[in-house]
Structure 1
């Protein structure tokens, strides 16, 4: 890796570290926070579903910002929007607001995250290519996931400890403060390199153009289309499991106010991100096809969720969930690299945002459905149903493989799509 590429990587890792740290302060206690505000399981996961509704609604419009005004501008707007909507969440908790207020602010939270989705990854890939980097994308993306895991580990544990020492609202205020600091960091360090924004005087026309580019570069391209069609099942279930871990583990532990244990649940996923990010490029050296990795991780992680239905011991459930998280995390950089190697630079942020939209769309349906399953039959049954839903993604990954894209066997030395 040359000096210019190394500098790009450092900025990317810094942004990933700060952004994930800010977000993760509440990840370990978010579901408990919603339940403490008086919401039922159905309402809590419905609020999370409205968050994903916001991501679905705004992915394409914020794609206009990323491709038309720059990935840096998109990131800066994301920090401001997310900080403001997080503070509103705190106020809703303070005043025990009714469900529909939670739904509305959750949509705003989704808007905040759509400014990030696709934009940072597209910024990284274009900047690396511009700097002359010729290595495999799994290497840098894997490092990013490892850094994200470290930040999530620190933030989620700290959030749980802070909540237990003070109350469930304080971690939300800490998140706001870190996001404000990240705005300053990104303003100083992040600059669009290897990409020239194409501004339009007509936002609606630009939105239509972005949507068309998403379809042309994504859904009309068979190997990309099938990976996108798998996303609602993998992402929808993954989001639910992450947030269901908190009350599920507390239930097994036997103390509903052990918020540090809830933080441990998020820390578990964070640790898995570190291990998975380290494993991804090593797995790729052993496995010829990226889709082989994706199919294997999908099936194994789904089976683990089904096995959890028969587990009543806290420490055994914790071990199984750790294994589920590691397996899932090991496939993430491989999937990212696979998609990026099939997308042209001009459409990169747009198509990646549309891919995120597909995953979010799955979360809109899956989260309240599995939340209702938890209300009726308990968390173990809802996790097992989630595992069964996740398996539906495997045939779509296989269909992508059958298109025989060059990206499936790409390795170090293969450049991203131009």
Structure 2
């Protein structure tokens, strides 16, 4: 991959994460200010994930058929409109609609971005592996999250919905920039008639599902990631509520900075480890999962709130490693022709777990303390550990005992 392509990817990740991060620190507080109860916040989040499940596979096929660049740009325009809708929302159905619009946009980007990066590296004979480039991109993105979250919190202190309007304009600008930023000149769109296009779409759809069903290591990978998101995704909804109650709203920004720095450390560690030729994503994912499980269970022990802050920020280091490791492993298992579609199928399967976790979290928050919910999350993470041994065994057999 040429330096230009790598720089363009990093710039995209930085700008994309910066604008999306504007609303992150005050998201739950914004919904509470709009009169939403914890159970209703759970419904809103679940609507996003259900919409992703609905849109992911069709949009992934669009990326494989008509180009990943087109899919990414369409997704950014849709996300921009979704943020504008959020800015003007004031009821459960409007918030839910905004989430569904953003979900459609995210679905166009998801899968296509990874596919574009992986195939660009292959086309330009890049010296860095996909996992290394992706983790470096995540590293820069986490730094952008720090700045975006800080600025978003300042904007929210002026007017709570303001971060959504600024994000809308920023994402719109990024969509326009991507006409030059995302180079896919090597992609050749096969011009077909309406009937042939439909047949080709069905062919890609069947190939993706056939691979997902028949490849044993993908099935184990889906189980692990589905349970992981079921356990951890609700914590994204819960942490600001817990720390606001313990330390006040002024603590949210400081903890957000700590979380972002921890995520940066996680991505940086992975980028260093994946540079080694004998690095094993499966082994590293197991270590990350074990460490995360222990730290989440420690958070739930009803100890000093200051220690909860420490363990919470520390557990974000292995969480920051997860995305790059899982993406690196996944991209090795799927062929180029259906790469975006497979990324979308993976997103559908795993986000079902996240949606279930978010929905259950909204119900539990009205009945049990947050730390009890985190204890349940830690137990769920521990339950995934045996599947790593099955994943490692099936991966070795499938790849002729090649270390992956």
TM-score normalized by the length of structure 2: 0.92
Distance (Å, rounded) in 2 between the aligned partners of 1:402 and 1:162 = 50
> Pairwise mapping of residues 213-362 of structure 1 onto structure 2 (< 5 A)?
213-253=207-247, 255=248, 258=249, 260-284=250-274, 285=276, 288-362=279-353
> Pairwise mapping of residues 75-224 of structure 1 onto structure 2 (< 5 A)?
75-92=72-89, 96-97=90-91, 99-164=92-157, 166-198=158-190, 201=194, 205=199, 207-224=201-218
Distance (Å, rounded) in 1 between the aligned partners of 2:129 and 2:393 = 22
Cα deviation, residue 40, structure 1: 0.8
SS of residue matched to 1:376: coil
Distance (Å, rounded) in 2 between the aligned partners of 1:111 and 1:395 = 34
Distance (Å, rounded) in 2 between the aligned partners of 1:293 and 1:379 = 29
Residue 72 of structure 1 corresponds to 69
Q: Show structure 1 runs of 5+ residues with no match.
A: 412-418
Cα deviation, residue 230, structure 1: 1.6
Pair 1:288–1:53, CA change in 2 (3 A): same
Distance (Å, rounded) in 2 between the aligned partners of 1:316 and 1:408 = 43
- Aligned-residue Cα RMSD (Å) equals 2.2
Q: Show structure 2 runs of 5+ residues with no match.
A: none
Pair 1:392–1:5, CA change in 2 (3 A): farther
Instruction: Judge conservation of contact 1:67–1:197 (CA < 8 Å) in 2.
Output: no
Deviations 1:195-221 (A, max 9, x none): 434466357655533332222333321
Cα deviation, residue 381, structure 1: 1.1
Instruction: Judge conservation of contact 1:290–1:408 (CA < 8 Å) in 2.
Output: no
1:378 aligned to 2:369? yes
Structure 1 stretch 189-198 or stretch 121-130: which is displaced more? 189-198
SS of residue matched to 1:191: coil
Instruction: Judge conservation of contact 1:245–1:265 (CA < 8 Å) in 2.
Output: no
Residue 23 of structure 2 corresponds to 26
Cα deviation, residue 410, structure 1: 4.9
Distance (Å, rounded) in 2 between the aligned partners of 1:265 and 1:199 = 51
Q: How many residue pairs align between the two structures?
A: 399
Distance (Å, rounded) in 2 between the aligned partners of 1:300 and 1:239 = 17
Residue 46 of structure 2 corresponds to 49
Distance (Å, rounded) in 1 between the aligned partners of 2:400 and 2:81 = 40
Residue 416 of structure 1 corresponds to none
1:58 aligned to 2:84? no
